[in-house]
Each structure stands twice: as structure tokens, then as C-alpha cells.
């Protein structure tokens, strides 16, 4: 047992214990009759391109969740550590529902990388090639592609200023009046804005490494123009089929990957005719493949999923 904090101790199994394919190590599958320890709650640690999650399965056993619990779990010093905490809940008429909490405790409507991870878990459990997941942004469908990548239909982007939302009207959201840095020579300016399950602002730059995103990100995330905050991305167009992206994620900070930000950058670049509707988006954690379909305007996002380890959390941390 590894003790990180009295209230957030984590019981970890060694990596060799979970080296088998994911379908043989799924934690607490529904309707399998597996006995559960009343004093602990199992979790799985997963990531999509380094965007990492603590996944809890609340389909067979209710697991309370709130901001304090999510912060305790997400704390990288005293908890398990993650960008988001994901709770799988019964889905009713669909395969499952997904509750998403940032590591600061705030709720999130959509997370593309998390949807790919949960989709892979559900498909491994059921043997299906596609599953439907209920999120705060609506129903999302995950599929296993022939190349082994997990693809998610993220739905259609929203470009109207009221849907993003913005605090004031901008008729053309391909570039709004917003800047950071010296007034006569701003470091960042004129971002494209869009809602892909959550608000995004995409700034176009010549060098993504030259921007101090750890400084600019939190200032822009909480700018008054974004009444619900925003994910802040800096993007370089490499060519008509390739984008380079770094992201400050709302409620999580700098992240190695953000699926909805990759979708946002792709559709905003295509809208400005900087790229086509199929692009590879390179983030610090690796590549995501985005296709903004013309027939229905839905965004298809594909990428890999990684299983890190599994363990248990004390049940008392979910009380009160």
C-alpha cells in the first residue's frame, strides 16, 4: 500500500498485474457478480496522449462525486493525480453515462480523450465495435477503427457567440477582438472561438514554443469575455493537413493533449481556409486525427488509448 495522504491513500497493483489486454482486467464490470470490498473503491488510471484520467465505475455501486473529492483524487502530490476524474454511471437506453470533473473540481460537459478511453473500456467489456455514451454535451459515439485507434463522433461545433458563450456579440467568430501582451504589439490576438462541448479560443502563432502559455493561459481562460471560462489554445498551421497545438485547459491547466481543443483548432482552421477538413493535430503528447465531415458537420476524432495502472481508494474519502 502506498500512502500519499491519510484521506487519499492509493493501493496500487504492480504493472505486471495489469499487463494483460484491457478486457481481461476491467474493474467492477456491471452485472458480472464480482464481489467488491466495502472499505475501498477500485479505479483505473488511463490516458489519451498523456491527457490522464482516474476512472471510477459507478454502475454497480453508487459513487458520490463532488468538487472536493475530485480535487483530492486529482492532486498530483497527495492524491492519484490526473487532469480529469471520470465517473461511469448507468446510461439508461445507451451504454453508459460519463461524469467529468477537472482536477480543480469543476464539472466539464465534454472531454474527447476521456470519451475515447471510456469507449474503449465499454467496447472491451461488451465486445461491441461501437458504444454510445451520454455526456453533458449530449450523446457521443465511440468506435474501434481497423487501425486500432479509437474514434469518437464529437457532434457538430457551435459558432454563434451565444452558444460559445461570449459576454458580448461578435457576428464573426472566426476572429474576435481579444489580445494579450503590449497593446501596440500584442503577443496573442484575434482568436477564433467555438464550442465543441465546451468553450474554446484558438490563437494563431508562428512558434508555439515561444508563447508563455503557463502565464497567458490562466489570464485568458478567465477573461470577462468568457462568462464560463474557456480552453485556450495556441496553434501553428504547418500545412493544409497538419496543425501544431499547445493547450491551456480550463480547470486543468497545461495538458499534454486535449481532444476537444484539437477538434476546435481543426474546425477553426478549416473555417478560415487555412487547412482542409481532414487534419493531423500534433500535441505535446502525440497526434490526433480530425475529420470535420461535410455531410452533417460532425467532428470525428481518432487517437490511441493507454492503460497505466489500477488501484483502490478508501471508501471513506467519498463520504460526507
Mean residue pLDDT across the chain: 88
Q: What one-character-per-residue DSSP string does 194-262 give?
A: EESSSEEEEEE-S-TTSS-HHHHHHHHHT-TT-TT--EEEEEEEEETTEEEEEEEETTTEEES--HHHH
Task: In whole angstroms, give the CA distance from residue 174 to residue 75.
Answer: 36
Please list the active-site residues.
111, 258
Q: Which residue has the higher pLDDT, 263 or 28?
A: 263
Q: What is the CATH number of domain 179-297?
A: 3.10.310.10
Task: In whole angstroms, give the CA distance from residue 212 to residue 224.
Answer: 21
Burial (CB < 10 A; 0-12, 13-18, 19+), residue 73, is: buried
Domain ranges of the chain: 11-155+305-318, 179-297
Per-residue pLDDT at 55: 98
Task: In whole angstroms, give the CA distance from residue 254 to residue 269.
Answer: 22
Residue 96: name the closest of 20, 149, 28, 40 by CA. Answer: 28
Model confidence band, residue 37 (pLDDT cutoffs 50, 70, 90): low
Residues 221 and 229: beta-carbon distance below 8 Å: yes
Residue 20 has pLDDT above 50, yes or no: no
Per-residue pLDDT at 320: 59
pTM of the model: 0.85
Per-residue pLDDT at 54: 97
| Residue 4 DSSP label | S
Q: What is the CATH number of domain 11-155+305-318?
A: 3.10.310.10
Question: What mean pLDDT is predicted for residues 198-207?
Answer: 97
Task: In whole angstroms, give the CA distance from residue 299 to residue 293.
Answer: 6
HEC-encoded secondary structure of 75-105:
CCCCCCCCCEEEEEECCCCCCEEEEEEECCC
CA 109 to chain centre: 10
Task: Tell me whether the CATH fold assigned to 11-155+305-318 matches the one assigned to 179-297.
Answer: yes
Task: In whole angstroms, give the CA distance from residue 66 to residue 42.
Answer: 17
pLDDT tens per residue across span 211-246: 999 999 999 999 999 999 999 999 999 999 999 999
Amino acid at each position: 500500500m502506498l500512502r500519499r495522504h491519510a484521506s487519499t491513500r492509493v493501493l496500487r497493483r504492480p504493472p505486471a498485474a495489469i499487463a494483460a489486454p484491457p478486457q481481461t482486467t476491467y474493474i467492477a464490470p456491471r452485472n458480472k457478480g464480482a464481489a467488491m470490498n466495502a472499505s475501498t473503491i477500485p479505479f483505473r488510471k488511463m490516458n489519451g496522449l498523456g491527457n490522464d484520467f482516474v476512472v471510477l465505475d459507478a454502475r454497480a455501486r453508487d459513487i458520490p462525486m463532488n468538487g472536493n473529492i475530485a480535487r483530492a483524487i486529482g492532486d498530483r502530490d497527495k492524491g492519484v493525480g490526473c487532469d480529469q476524474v471520470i465517473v461511469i454511471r448507468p446510461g439508461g437506453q445507451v451504454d453508459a453515462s460519463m461524469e467529468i470533473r477537472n482536477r480543480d473540481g469543476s464539472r466539464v460537459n465534454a472531454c474527447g480523450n476521456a470519451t475515447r478511453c471510456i469507449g474503449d473500456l465499454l467496447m472491451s467489456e461488451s465486445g461491441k465495435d461501437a458504444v454510445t455514451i451520454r455526456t453533458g454535451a449530449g450523446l457521443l459515439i465511440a468506435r474501434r477503427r481497423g487501425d486500432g485507434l479509437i474514434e469518437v463522433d464529437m457532434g457538430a461545433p457551435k459558432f454563434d457567440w451565444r452558444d460559445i458563450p461570449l459576454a458580448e456579440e461578435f457576428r464573426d467568430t472566426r476572429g474576435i477582438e481579444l489580445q494579450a501582451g503590449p497593446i501596440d504589439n500584442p503577443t496573442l490576438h484575434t482568436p477564433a472561438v467555438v464550442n465543441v462541448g465546451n468553450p474554446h479560443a484558438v490563437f494563431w502563432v508562428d512558434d508555439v514554443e515561444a508563447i508563455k502559455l503557463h502565464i497567458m493561459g490562466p489570464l485568458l481562460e478567465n477573461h470577462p469575455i468568457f462568462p464560463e471560462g474557456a480552453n485556450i489554445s495556441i496553434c501553428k498551421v504547418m500545412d493544409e493537413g497538419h496543425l501544431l497545438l499547445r493547450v491551456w485547459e480550463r480547470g486543468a491547466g497545461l495538458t499534454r493533449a486535449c481532444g476537444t481543443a484539437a477538434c476546435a483548432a481543426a474546425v477553426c482552421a478549416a473555417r478560415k481556409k487555412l487547412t482542409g477538413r481532414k487534419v493531423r493535430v500534433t500535441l505535446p503528447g502525440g497526434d490526433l486525427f480530425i475529420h470535420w465531415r461535410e455531410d452533417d458537420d460532425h467532428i470525428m476524432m481518432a487517437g490511441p488509448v493507454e492503460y497505466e495502472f489500477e488501484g483502490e481508494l478508501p471508501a471513506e474519502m467519498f463520504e460526507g
